[in-house]
Amino acid sequence: EVQLVESGGGLVQPGGSLRLSCAVSGFTFSNYWMSWVRQAPGKGLEWVANIAQGGSEKYYVDSAKGRFTISGDNARNSLYLQMNSLRLEDTAVYYCVRDSRSGGIDAFDIWGQGTMVTVSS
Amino acid sequence: DVQMTQSPSSLSASVGDRVTITCRASQNIHTYLNWYQQKPGKAPKLLIYGASSLQSGVPSRFSGSRSGTEFTLTISSLQPEDFTTYYCQQSSSTPLTFGGGTKVEIK
């Protein structure tokens, strides 16, 4: 079964750090782009970052540049998001997402259940 | 950045109604447009990719179309499980961007 399972969310103070993890199963992690997408409480969806197969390319939304780092570990079939200098506005559910770019699809076709990050003093 | 303007932000309809949701891109994104359905407390689910291709397992009452930079999601006959929120998303260029969402409510 294709599955993405996030972990690492929690409560953190402004300026703090958190590392999100996403365990991938059911497909070959190294063959796919992967993304993080977030959703603030009661708000819409916002793409945060993505990473190419093998990690050769990484892209970020402007608000994450310089603070967040996306990475992947092919041996562990895992995706990560290191978040530093967290702000109140980073409070959201963070989804790990498979960013399919083959077979005619260029879309987020598999989503994890999400992990909640709350930035608050 | 490509801005995605989705309308309406909400609509009221009845079971069996035909519903149309529109997304306009701020520049040419060709057919790099996807539609998602999100139910409360759940992760989004891919419905339509490439503007008009139905994702495997999605009912055929969902369809997508394109006219220039305007994209449409149509639900031909609303079912009770369809009353929820829908988002468009462009995959043409980074930053990848979503529309603001459309909440479909029961009239």
For A43-75, write each residue's pLDDT tens digit.
Answer: 999 999 999 998 999 999 999 999 999 999 999
* Confidence band, pLDDT 50/70/90 cuts, at residue A105: confident
pLDDT of res. A102: 83
Say if residues A62 and B95 touch (Cβ distance below 8 Å).
Answer: yes
Measured CA distances, A82 to A71, A104, B88 (Å): 8, 31, 27
The three-class DSSP label of residue B14 is coil
Q: Are A47 and B97 a contacting pair at CB < 8 A?
A: yes
CB contact under 8 A, B98 and A62: no
Chain B environment of A111 (Cβ under 8 Å): 43-45
CB contact under 8 A, B101 and A111: no
Q: Quick check: B36 and A50 CB within 8 A?
A: no
Q: Report the chain A residue with the minimal C-alpha distance to residue B92.
A: A106
Is the CB of A45 less than 8 angstroms away from the CB of B50?
no
Cis amide leading into B59 (omega within 30) = no
- Tally A–B CB contacts below 8 A: 60
Is the pLDDT at B78 greater than 90? The verdict is yes
What is the mean pLDDT of the segment spanning B47-53? 97
Whole-angstrom distance, CA of residue B46 vs CA of residue A8: 25
pLDDT tens-digit series, residues B5-46 = 999 999 999 999 999 999 999 999 999 999 999 999 999 999
Q: What is the pLDDT of residue A21?
A: 98
- Give the A window 28-57 contacts with B, CB below 8 Å: 35, 44-47, 50
Cβ-defined contact of B46 to A107 (cutoff 8 Å): yes
Rounded CA separation B4/B22 (Å): 10
DSSP one-letter string for A25-78: ESS-GGGSEEEEEEE-TTS-EEEEEEE-GGGS-EEE-GGGTTTEEEEEETTTTE
pLDDT above 90 (res A20):
yes
Contact between A39 and A45 (Cβ < 8 Å): yes
Answer yes or no: are the C-beta atoms of B35 and B88 closer than 8 Å.
yes
Nearest residue, CB atoms, A112 vs list B43, B87, B96: B43
